[in-house]
Amino acid sequence: MTQDSNQPHPNEDTQASQETPATEQAGQEPEAQNTAPEGAQGQGPDLTNELAAQLAERDDQLIRLAAEIDNLRKRHATELGNASKFAIESFAEALLPVADSLTMALSVPDQSLEGLKNGVELTLKQLQQAFEKGRLVAIDPVGEKFDPNRHQAISMVDGKASNPPVASGHVVQVMQKGYLIGERVLRPALVAVAS
């Protein structure tokens, strides 16, 4: 049997059919690569402009917040300074009657001892009222357990010999009262402690 030269060779037909799908696949790949989500094409500049506008708005908000925080800090510093100043003024005003009483007591000629004592007692009451207004509280710990945060021991004594007897580690005598401002120790009390 002689083969006609115009008829394709069986091997050539197989090669041609195998080449066609490869060519079609090669033609499809570029289409698949160019495929983008719907609505995303043509929005590049618009999306960039929108993001830039949002970023500018956020920058503006940040600048405003920073300025507001700085103003609050300055206002707080001013109010704190004024509060300290006015607290001192209030305490000074409460002390003025005490100064007036002492000045008046010294100006009275030929005072009796009893009159002088009464004047000092009244002046002391005025001073205690001024301390109360200034939240200044006395520490007078006789009989209390020794507290190194509020008391300063200057001597040890026999607690059993004191009248009434005092337990060991407790305050027997106060030589000088201490003072608190609120809960802060302004001056510790000078005390003698039972051994």
> What does the pLDDT read at residue 35?
47
> What does the pLDDT read at residue 191?
94
> What does the pLDDT read at residue 11?
52
pTM: 0.54
Q: What are the φ and ψ backbone dihedral angles of 98, each rounded to 5 degrees?
A: -65, -45
> What does the pLDDT read at residue 153?
93
> What does the pLDDT read at residue 34?
47
- The Cβ-side half-sphere exposure at 69, using a 13 Å CA radius, reads 6
> What does the pLDDT read at residue 97?
92
For residue 103, count CB atoms less than 10 angstroms from its CB and return exposed for 0-12, middle for 13-18, buried for 19 or more.
exposed
Where do the domains of the chain lie, and which CATH numbers do they carry? 48-134 (3.90.20), 135-195 (2.30.22.10)
For residue 111, count CB atoms less than 10 angstroms from its CB and return exposed for 0-12, middle for 13-18, buried for 19 or more.
middle
Return d(Cα 175, Cα 183) in angstroms, integer: 22
**Which residues in the chain come in under a pLDDT of 50?**
1-2, 5, 14-17, 22-37, 39-40
> What does the pLDDT read at residue 6?
54
> What does the pLDDT read at residue 4?
52
Q: Which two tokens stand for residue 136?
A: 């200044």
> What does the pLDDT read at residue 1?
47
For residue 131, count CB atoms less than 10 angstroms from its CB and return exposed for 0-12, middle for 13-18, buried for 19 or more.
middle
